[in-house]
């Protein structure tokens, strides 16, 4: 008798919950980590979401035709928060309310580092849709302070081209024609830079740096009540610090910023939308940070988010970022990314269909491919297509056709001036710095001009108009090399103005 119970005990303790562990709700990359580690940072996706994968984004866009971007923003932020509020208590209860849990609302999800057994327990709940592996545990609370360079709100003179140089890339895209003929320069539009931070003390960026007007710098308090102390120009979510200035040689975000909004104070107008504002968000590491960056951009009024980066090999986690991007787009955020530099003729070649990654491979994100001055695609540029047929909740765009990307082209450089890294002047001529990190900002600049002309057009319409007004550089329509062709600021803004 005793022997019999002992055997049973052995069996049940060796496989305590195997029958109950719904592995189908745990991403393969998380399962892989859990085989080696007793705990791991995870994103627990709640059952209720605005979008349910598949074609639900497209259906949302169709059913929202004619709605104003500002209305969608207001309505969806409150809906997202309500869903998160309602469902996350139940999720947190299952895992015993860990203090370090990060509640998100851009997707209804909780980010937390959990033990294997707790992950299994959460996966068994009908409140939980899926559990993804995160990349790291997000940083803890901010204490504020540490903004070393504080700007005063600028006084802007009337925009003038007198005595200013205009580089060839700006002219080729027709941005200067938009400034001259329509008198549209990006005013009223804020572009969130998901990047390395920027040298906003550069004379060409000082006046167009977004300022969180209801926040006081360096007093250690969260004056505007958005949960972050002293976030005057954006936020560094990677370090949970309000300091977003880029220093030393790491000036990637200064270059991308300059292409969007460098205002020519130092003599050369490097930006397509010189009167747009730039909000700086540093949000590497945890996917909780990606969510926080989108939430910040939406709540603080950014219109566009420029994402000049590329994440390879995310596995099922691609679906998580796609949901974040789609739900951010529904709430009126235009998403732009460079196509990446993984073409077969470059230094880091990747096979097809893996050259465009995340976020640029996501359907609602405008992926900017690259053209040189001779209108040819340089060998380093990532080419499409992109496939989604293996990604849970989507399972679309099967090969061979896949999803045709890039969507449109900008200029990856080199050859046009960019802001210098010593805080003064320009790298002009720039003979070295190139990559689709710089094609993306050309498209963000065009989008900023369009939204300055007509602020209420929704993101999917902005994407459509950018593509339909682009100048084809290859025959046969949109293709996986150059997309719809070179972006045309003049035609895009003209179409945007007619679109009420």
x-marked contacts with Ca ion along 228-267 as a string, rule CB under 5 A = x-xx------------------------------------
For Ca ion, the binding residue among 212, 241, 289, 341 (CB under 5 A) is: 212
Q: Give whichever of 93 and 221 is closer to Ca ion, judged by the CB atom.
A: 221
Displacement of CA 121 from its chain's centroid (Å): 32
What separation in angstroms does the CA of 91 have from each of 19, 71, 111, 294?
21, 30, 11, 22
Report the DSSP pairing between strands 304-307 and 277-282: unpaired
Which residue has the closest beta carbon to Ca ion? 224
Question: Does 295 participate in binding Ca ion (rule CB under 5 A)?
Answer: no
Q: Give whichever of 109 and 147 is closer to Ca ion, judged by the CB atom.
A: 147
CB of 307 to Ca ion, least distance (A): 22
Q: Give whichever of 222 and 474 is closer to Ca ion, judged by the CB atom.
A: 222
Q: Which two tokens stand for residue 433?
A: 């710095």
Question: Does 79 participate in binding Ca ion (rule CB under 5 A)?
Answer: no
Q: Coil, helix or strand for 398? A: coil
Residue 435 φ/ψ, nearest 5 degrees: 155, 160
Q: Give whichever of 221 and 424 is closer to Ca ion, judged by the CB atom.
A: 221
Q: What is the distance between the alpha carbons of residues 373 and 376, in angstroms, rounded to a whole number?
A: 7
Number of residues that bind Ca ion (CB under 5 A): 13
Q: Give whichever of 73 and 252 is closer to Ca ion, judged by the CB atom.
A: 73
Question: Does 221 participate in binding Ca ion (rule CB under 5 A)?
Answer: yes
Question: Does 226 participate in binding Ca ion (rule CB under 5 A)?
Answer: yes
Produce one character per residue of 415-452: b if its CB has 16 or more CB atoms within 10 Å, e if not.
bbbbbbbeeeebbbebeebbbbbbbbbbbbbbbbbbbb
Q: Which two tokens stand for residue 11?
A: 């069996």
Q: Give whichever of 224 and 456 is closer to Ca ion, judged by the CB atom.
A: 224
For Ca ion, the binding residue among 47, 55, 224, 456 (CB under 5 A) is: 224
Residue 214 φ/ψ, nearest 5 degrees: -95, 20
Question: Does 222 participate in binding Ca ion (rule CB under 5 A)?
Answer: yes
Question: Does 215 participate in binding Ca ion (rule CB under 5 A)?
Answer: yes
CB of 63 to Ca ion, least distance (A): 31
Stretch that binds Ca ion, among 15-23, 147-155, 212-220, 420-428 (CB under 5 A): 212-220
**16 Cβ contact partners less than 8 Å away, ≥ 6 residues apart:** none
Q: Give whichever of 145 and 425 is closer to Ca ion, judged by the CB atom.
A: 145
Evaluate the CA torsion angle 358, 359, 365, 369 in order and state its sign: negative
Stretch that binds Ca ion, among 101-109, 135-143, 221-229, 332-340 (CB under 5 A): 221-229
- Is there a contact between 278 and 285 (Cβ–Cβ < 8 Å)? no
Q: Which residues bind Ca ion (CB under 5 A)?
A: 212, 214-216, 219, 221-224, 226, 228, 230-231
């Amino acid at each position: 008798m005793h022997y019999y119970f002992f055997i049973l005990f052995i069996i049940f303790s060796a496989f305590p919950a195997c029958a109950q562990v719904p592995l189908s709700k745990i991403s393969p990359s998380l399962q892989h980590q859990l085989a080696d580690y007793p705990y791991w940072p995870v994103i627990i996706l709640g059952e209720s979401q605005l979008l349910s994968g598949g074609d639900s984004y497209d259906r949302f866009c169709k059913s929202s035709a004619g709605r104003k971007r500002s209305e969608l923003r207001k309505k969806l932020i409150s809906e997202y928060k309500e869903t998160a509020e309602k469902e996350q208590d139940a999720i947190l209860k299952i895992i015993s309310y860990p203090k370090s849990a990060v509640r998100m609302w851009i997707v209804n999800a909780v980010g937390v580092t959990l033990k294997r057994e707790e992950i299994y327990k959460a996966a068994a709940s009908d409140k939980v849709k899926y559990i993804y592996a995160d990349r790291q545990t997000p940083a803890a609370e901010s204490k504020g302070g540490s903004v070393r360079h504080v700007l005063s709100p600028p006084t802007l003179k009337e925009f003038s081209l007198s005595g200013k140089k205009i580089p060839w890339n700006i002219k080729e895209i027709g941005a200067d024609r938009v400034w001259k003929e329509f008198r549209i320069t990006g005013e009223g539009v804020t572009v969130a830079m998901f990047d390395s931070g920027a040298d906003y003390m550069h004379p060409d960026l000082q006046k167009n740096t977004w300022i969180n007007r209801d926040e006081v710098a360096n007093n250690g308090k969260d004056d505007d009540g958005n949960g972050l102390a002293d976030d005057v120009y954006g936020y560094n979510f990677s370090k949970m610090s309000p300091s977003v200035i880029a220093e030393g040689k790491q000036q990637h975000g200064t270059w991308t910023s300059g292409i969007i909004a460098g205002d020519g104070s130092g003599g050369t107008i490097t930006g397509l939308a010189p009167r747009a504002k730039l909000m700086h968000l540093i949000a590497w590491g945890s996917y909780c940070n990606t969510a926080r960056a989108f939430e910040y951009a939406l709540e603080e009024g950014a219109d566009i988010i420029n994402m000049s980066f590329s994440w390879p090999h995310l596995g099922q986690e691609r679906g998580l970022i796609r949901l974040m991007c789609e739900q951010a787009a529904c709430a009126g955020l235009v998403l732009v990314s460079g196509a990446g530099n993984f073409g077969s003729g470059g230094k880091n070649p990747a096979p097809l269909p893996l050259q465009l990654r995340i976020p640029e491979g996501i359907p609602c994100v405008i992926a900017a491919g690259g053209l040189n001055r001779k209108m040819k695609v340089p060998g380093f540029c990532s080419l499409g297509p992109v496939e989604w047929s293996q990604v849970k909740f989507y399972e679309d765009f099967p090969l061979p056709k896949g999803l045709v990307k890039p969507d449109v082209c900008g200029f990856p450089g080199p050859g046009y001036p960019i802001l210098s890294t010593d805080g003064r002047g320009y790298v002009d001529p720039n003979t070295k710095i190139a990559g689709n990190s710089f094609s993306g900002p050309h498209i963000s600049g065009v989008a900023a001009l369009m939204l300055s002309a007509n602020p209420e057009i929704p993101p999917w319409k902005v994407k459509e108009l950018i593509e339909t007004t682009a100048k084809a550089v290859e025959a046969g329509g949109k293709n996986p090399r150059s997309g719809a062709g070179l972006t045309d600021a003049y035609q895009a803004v003209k179409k945007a103005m007619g679109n009420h």
